Amino acid sequence: MTIKKVYRGGFTLIELLVVIAIISILAAILFPVFARARENARRASCMSNLKQMGLAMMQYTQDYDESYPFAWSSLGSPVPGGTWNLGAGNWTWAQILYPYHKSLQVFTCPSGVSANATVPFRGHYGANVALLVLPGNSSIKLSAVQAPASTYAFMDAGNYTMNTSYLYSLTANNGYYIPGAGRLGGSCAPGTNGAALVDDCNSGRHLDGMNMAFADGHVKWLKSSVVLKEGKTASPPNGAWNPANG
């Protein structure tokens, strides 16, 4: 009687190593693509937030004698969003615009410090205080803005107010910075700030850029380096940050 031996096929060690190598190569190629696609989706969502607030800003100007809102104002309690506020019934510019869009979601950037922040006046969006001025100043009129389509209104930022003196810094207990400033030579010292703010300052958000709402309400993605450069422009002073520039 002849006994036949049955051999079961299998992978050799070399074949397994080749398969693992191929999978590793594919993963190295695809993971950055997936990460970029995910961030593009977040950037689009953030742009939608700013677009809603940009439209709300333009509606506000029509109701208030063609004046832009203040960066913050004492409007009493309660404030939109529940517990987070500046204290003493003070509303940020984003909350002032709330009656026009009725959305709490627009206050937070999906790539910001936290999408569920209890204090979204940091690590999300900030207003250009040369346009949305601080209380004690005269509000800016539409007619005073020489080039609305190229003047910064509000944007991805570290603090709810922004000016050209603080674009590069995250120090002590403030959030005055443009996301990604650390990569561009800025200072992102921890101080008493949380690690998330420091990371936002250093690494940035939307693929080395940021979403910007302009004085006419439209929104555009810009490189962080461009926004920072505008803040340092000497002629005309502070470039797109200055409403008086044509």
Sorting pLDDT into bands at 50, 70 and 90, what band is 44? very high
Spatial contact of 84 and 147, defined as CB atoms under 8 Å apart: no
Most confident of 9-23, 159-173, 196-210, 215-229: 215-229
Query: For residue 220, what pLDDT is reported?
Result: 96
Q: What is the pLDDT of residues 187-239, one digit of tens each?
A: 887 766 678 888 899 988 999 999 999 999 999 999 999 999 999 888 889 99
CB-CB neighbours of 136 under 10 Å: 6
Task: Check pLDDT > 80 for residue 118.
Answer: no
The CA–CA distances, whole Å, from 161 to 18, 24, 170, 175, 212 equal 55, 45, 13, 9, 14
The 8 Å CB, 24+ separation contacts for 63-66 are 64/139, 65/141, 66/141, 66/142, 66/143
Task: Check pLDDT > 70 for residue 1.
Answer: no
Determine if the peptide bond prior to 78 is cis (ω within 30°).
yes
Over range 70-85, report the average pLDDT: 80
Q: Report CA dihedral (119, 121, 124, 129) to the nearest 10 degrees.
A: 180
Task: Check pLDDT > 70 for residue 242.
Answer: yes
- The reported pTM is 0.83
Q: What is the pLDDT of residues 132-156, one digit of tens each?
A: 999 999 999 999 999 999 999 999 9
